[in-house]
Amino acid sequence: MIKTIKEALIWASSYLKNQGIENPYTESQLLLKKLLDLPLVKLTLQENQPLTEQQLENYLQWVKKRGEGYPYAYIIKGKEFMGLEFYVDPRVLIPRPETEILVEWAISYIELNKISDFKIVDVGTGSGAIGISLAKYTGKKIYAVDLSMDSLQVAKLNSEKLGVADKIKFYHGNLLKPLKKQGLEVDLVVSNLPYIPEREYATLQREVKEFEPYTALIGGETGLEIYQELVQQLKGTLKKGGALAIEIAYNQGQRAIDHLQKGGFQKTYILNDLAGHQRVVIGENFIGENFKNYV
């Protein structure tokens, strides 16, 4: 019978290993660390400490969920992003560390542009990770748009949780259309829209495919259809000279560049992630006309 921290970890590690979960002992530790609100080192130092019946019951439930492939972030209802702790649940995609590259670029771009009334729109905000991080670290005005009311509820919750609700205005609708209706203009568009091609859905990891929202993952036949539509909507909303930053898959860089050039950006380039893969495409100096007509 399981009684102590050590015994719980031994059982959980064995169970997760049998369920095919990678790094089962580490996963077991992380779940118990979160449940008990203890640093990892204290789990070892206090390994003979008994667990209460309620703690053990909760831990067994968490471990069994993880064994079913349920993502860790959904179990603990949280994910760290840009040093901030976001609430997440199955209504939204779990923020990925690779997306921080986009946010870090945006922060640098904002700092270089000495515009006091600099405005940003986060298109497809999801959990709000991008827009809220930018509001937190730059203090600028953010518009956040999503087609999913469920996602907007999570994003609003996170804006309140992280103390930036007064800096963000949320809109429900398709890409930039809600801003167009209001006649709003922005200096920067940031977006992590669905970009996985339909044909690749079956190849995704089990915990992604079975538990994260399909509509937040799949971007059409090529994966870039939604971004194409976004670029087509820029005119009249993105100010002349403005910029766009989008997250892409490792093999979509040049095709995305082509769309941005056709959409009116004079300067385009790709940022790689830490693994050396294409991750973010940038368009600067927006002129609102097909740049390829000028070169």
Residues contributing to the annotated binding site for S-adenosyl-L-methionine: 124-128, 146, 192
Determine phi and psi for 120, rounding to 5 degrees.
-130, 145
Within a 13 Å sphere around the CA of 211, how many CA atoms are in the beta-carbon half?
18
Provide the annotated binding site: 124-128, 146, 192
Indicate the residue type of 160: E
What the block records as the tokens of 81 is 């992003």
Task: Name 15's Cβ contacts closer than 8 Å, sequence gap at least 6.
Answer: 24, 63, 64, 67
How far apart CA 220 and CA 224 sit, in angstroms, is 7
**Sign of the dihedral through C-alpha 266, 261, 224, 149:** positive
DSSP secondary structure of 38-78: --HHHHHHTTTPBPPHHHHHHHHHHHHHHHTT--HHHHHT-
